[in-house]
């Protein structure tokens, strides 16, 4: 089946501009995640959604970053007034929820998309 898709694959913009990055999760996956990966580093968590709501947005670096998932499927990561330090690969992942220990809720493994490489000049 189709995996996680992200568009565009590459985005070059100028400092101060606004950008939107799109993620299409695997069909039926209720959880969606955004990460950012800088060169030579591991992915860094930004935000994740369970359904339409943000379950944890503690990784968003500042108020220039915002993400939405209005219908519980596709998500858009929005970055205002871009800075050169925002240059990175932005990764999206999706997963199912599962029944965890003692009946609590947990999450299955995350499936990652190919990423969007953002370059801010």
Partner 1 sequence: AQSVSQHNHHVILSEAASLELGCNYSYGGTVNLFWYVQYPGQHLQLLLKYFSGDPLVKGIKGFEAEFIKSKFSFNLRKPSVQWSDTAEYFCAVRGSNTGKLIFGQGTTLQVKP
Site membership for partner 1, residue 53 (CB under 8 A): no
Answer for the pair 117, 9: CB distance below 8 angstroms, yes or no. Answer: yes
Contact status, residue 85 vs residue 63, Cβ threshold 8 Å: no
Residue 11, beta-bridge partner list: 118
Among residues 21, 25, 29, 43, the one that binds partner 1 under rule CB under 8 A: 43
Please identify which residue in the block is written with the tokens 């953002």: 118
CA distances from 53 to 18, 58, 71, 75 (A): 23, 14, 10, 11
Of the candidate residues 16, 61, 85, 100, the single one contacting partner 1 (CB under 8 A): 100
Q: Give 35 or 86: the residue with its C-beta nearer to partner 1.
A: 35
Kindly tell me which residue out of 24, 25, 113, 118 binds partner 1, with binding defined by CB under 8 A: 113
User: Is 50 an interacting residue with respect to partner 1 (CB under 8 A)?
Assistant: yes
| H/E segment holding residue 36 | strand 31-37
- Which of 34/86 has CB closer to partner 1? 34
Figure out which of the listed residues 13, 44, 72, 87 binds partner 1, where binding follows CB under 8 A: 44
Give yes or no for a contact between 114 and 2, defined as CB atoms under 8 angstroms apart: no
Binding site for partner 1 (CB under 8 A): 31, 33, 35, 40-45, 48, 50, 55-56, 58-59, 91, 93, 95, 100-101, 104-107, 109-115
């Amino acid at each position: 089946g189709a995996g996680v898709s992200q568009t565009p694959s590459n985005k070059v913009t100028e400092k101060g501009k606004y950008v939107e990055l799109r993620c299409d999760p695997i069909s039926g996956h209720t959880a969606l995640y955004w990460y950012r990966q800088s060169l030579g580093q591991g992915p860094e968590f930004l935000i994740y959604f369970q359904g339409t709501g943000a379950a944890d947005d503690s990784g968003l670096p500042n108020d220039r970053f915002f993400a939405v998932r209005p219908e519980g499927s596709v998500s858009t990561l929005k970055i205002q007034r871009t800075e050169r330090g925002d240059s990175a690969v932005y990764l999206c992942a999706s997963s199912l929820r599962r029944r965890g220990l003692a009946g609590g809720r947990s999450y299955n493994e995350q499936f990652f998309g190919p990423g969007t490489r953002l370059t801010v000049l």
